[in-house]
Amino acid sequence: MNISKDSSKAITKESVIERYLPATVVPVVDSIDTVFAPSNIALCKYWGKRDAELNLPINSSLSISLAHLGSKTRISVSDTDQVWLNGNLVAADDKFSRKVINFIELFRRGAAHSVKVETENNIPTAAGLASSASGFAALMLAVNTFYGLDLEPQVLSAFARMGSGSASRSLYEGFVEWQMGVREDGMDSFALPLTTRWSDLRVGLVKVSTGEKAVDSRSGMNRTVDTAHLYQSWPLQAAADLERLHRAIADQNFTLLGETAEQNALSMHATMIASWPPLLYWQPDSVAAMQSIWQARAEGVELYFTMDAGPNIKLLFTADAEAEVKLRFPGLEVVAPFG
């Protein structure tokens, strides 16, 4: 795919963010109350960047937030920069630590204070869910409070996106659409919540593997965009699926929602598999779970799935099928996104 990579025109995160900041940024409190952001699962996936620096997507996406599952974050003034994850101090040269402090630095811009960042993820590790979406969303909310920035929701979402694309969607509960935007500085590329709720919708988290993946999403996306001819069809597929999902949500048509989400996920994986070197996130147990789902459907159970850049399967069903689905997937972690 021919994405412009003219570095002479490149806009940096720093240059975009500084336009929204006062001349000097200082903590307005010693320590903030903990803020929370939910994890989210895309029903229409974000796959492929038109700008890697700003995490600007090639297509719009639509997700559902996972209610109480997510990240809690607190920032306080400290003698040295330090990052704590789930109660443990993370080494300063660790990748996670550096990502967090680099993000803070986009706002602090060399100001003479250090911070302690404490994050807790309550996403069951057994579920194998990524935490970068909720993590950067919570961190953005924490930065906003700690420095008294008072940024508008759309700006918060656009800035969270610079931490991790999918974090733009984790600012909200329920259904959320991340509009791709067209501006070069990306400030029209933010997420907005949909007003429609769907109280009996359920998401089931099927663990296949929780090990660290060999190819992270960022590299996987770049490889797909650069090497898969099949990727040419992805933006069209995503646009059509987004429209179908809006219709499914408006009509509370679960069949349409499930079919669209499953086809969207498999289409994304098809583009990954068509990359070179090939990118296959599936494990044998992922395929076994897909076959169980298709068997359940053949037996009349309305059960669908979606998958992200990993081997784990996320089930989609409604409350009336929950008992039946749990029989087929013993020990399933079930989330009710609308409580």
Residue numbers of the site for ligand 2P0 (CB under 6 A)?
A: 42, 45-47, 55, 61, 132-133, 164-166, 217-218, 308-309
Count of residues making up the chain:
339
CB of 29 to ligand 2P0, least distance (A): 29
The residue number with the shortest CB distance to ligand 2P0 is 165
CB of 97 or CB of 164, closer to ligand 2P0: 164
CB of 166 or CB of 275, closer to ligand 2P0: 166
Q: Which residues of 85-119 are buried (b: 16+ CB within 10 A; e: fewer)?
A: beeeebeeeeeebebbbebbebbbeeeeeebbbbb
CB of 218 to ligand 2P0, least distance (A): 4
CB of 181 to ligand 2P0, least distance (A): 14
CB of 77 or CB of 240, closer to ligand 2P0: 240
Residue 162 near residue 54 (C-beta atoms within 8 A): yes
CB of 178 or CB of 329, closer to ligand 2P0: 178
CB of 301 to ligand 2P0, least distance (A): 25
For every residue of 16-51, DSSP letters joined together read HHHTTS-SS---SSSBPPPEEEEEEEEEE----EEE
Residue 228 near residue 280 (C-beta atoms within 8 A): no
CB of 61 or CB of 73, closer to ligand 2P0: 61
Q: Measuring CA to CA, how many Å separate 63 from each of 43, 66, 111, 299, 300?
A: 5, 10, 36, 28, 26
CB of 325 to ligand 2P0, least distance (A): 22
**Cα separation of 177 and 211, whole Å?**
29
